[in-house]
Structure 1
Amino acid sequence: MTQSIDYGNLMHRAMRGLIQSVLADVARDGLPGAHHFFITFDTTHPDVQIAKWLHDRYPAEMTVVIQHWFEDLIVTDKGFSITLNFGNQPEPLVIPFDSLLTFVDPSVEFGLRFEPQGDAEDDEDEAGDIDDDDDEPEAKPHAAEVVSLDKFRK
């Protein structure tokens, strides 16, 4: 058993689960109302599948917009595949959840940001290290701080 609870990893898994659920609903029912998504992902992730010309144009990261036109949205436990239109040229993409950097729905001012990750093998250990400090192999315990919420009340 580990010495501490890895809240960062748990949070990243929960956030990816939220995105998975949202995209599964959109795949089944379409986008409701004015909702649309800006999704930025790491194009160097080994499981990302995009056309060579897209990878050449976006060698590190890419932002796609899911809004007016998209086809074949398929959501799995590992990620999603979708066909998007790039200059009247439909292109299929496969985007693993582990490659996500940001997920934004500007219609409701909602956004999530993921910290960069290590290798896929390290995913279980490092996936959610939000405050990842490469200089320290182990996190040092910090004293708890109690904050009164009264000062924030109107």
Structure 2
Amino acid sequence: MAEETPPVDEMHYDALAQDALRGVIRLALERAALPEGIPGEHHFYITFKTRAAGVSVPPDVMAKYPVEMTIVLQHQYWDLTVEPTGFSVMLKFGGMPKVLSMPYTAVTRFYDPSVQFLLQFEEPDIPEEPIEELPAPKPVAVSQRKDGDDQDGPKVVSLDQFRKK
């Protein structure tokens, strides 16, 4: 018998399902952004990759959570702004207000423990940190200068005046 190759999912249903489930996060956050806030005992644990594309986290918070971070939206959050592709929120860290913003694609977990509701997502592609290489030294063109030249180039000293004749 001839082996048949499995069909190729050209619709990318896994990615479509992930995007649809991220829509659940957006809708839950839209409700949380209403003046009444999050209803009842609901509260959200949102885990995201701090270095994913589009994430904005203050540098001191990034230093403390360089890879991943979980935030809790329950009683103390401010200025929750929900957009079609992401959200931003103000939280306090050490008593200081800080604004975090992220696209939904950076979220890896969304959990509401009050009803044991969990969404887990594939981790986003994180670009590797660029490795800073020292540039190769540039060759310096040495030119003859006369005393009194006021050019800003390298200073060239003629050793002829110091040689014994």
Relative to the length of structure 2, the TM-score reads: 0.68
CA offset digits 1:34-77 (Å, max 9, x no partner) = 10000000001131111101100000000000011010000001
Partner in structure 1 of residue 14 of structure 2? 8
Greater RCO, 1 or 2 (C-alpha within 8 Å, sep 6+): 1
| Segment drifting more, 22-31 vs 50-59 | 22-31
Give the AA of the match of 1:117. P
Give the AA of the match of 2:49. D
Q: Of the two, which has the highest radius of gyration?
A: 2
CA offset digits 1:64-95 (Å, max 9, x no partner) = 00011010000001100000111211111101
Partner in structure 1 of residue 76 of structure 2? 69
In 2, the alpha carbon distance for the partners of 1:67 and 1:3 equals 40
- What is the Cα-based RMSD across aligned positions, in Å? 1.6
Partner in structure 2 of residue 32 of structure 1? 39
- Deviation of residue 98 (structure 1)? 0.8
Which of 3, 6, 28 lines up with 1:22 in the alignment? 28
Is the aligned partner of 1:48 residue 2:55? yes
- SS across alignment from 1:108: coil
Is the aligned partner of 1:57 residue 2:81? no
Percent identity over the alignment?
A: 40
Is the aligned partner of 1:85 residue 2:85? no
- Deviation of residue 4 (structure 1)? 3.5
Gaps of 5+ in 2: 1-7, 128-165
Gaps of 5+ in 1: 121-154
Normalized per residue, the structure richer in helix is 1
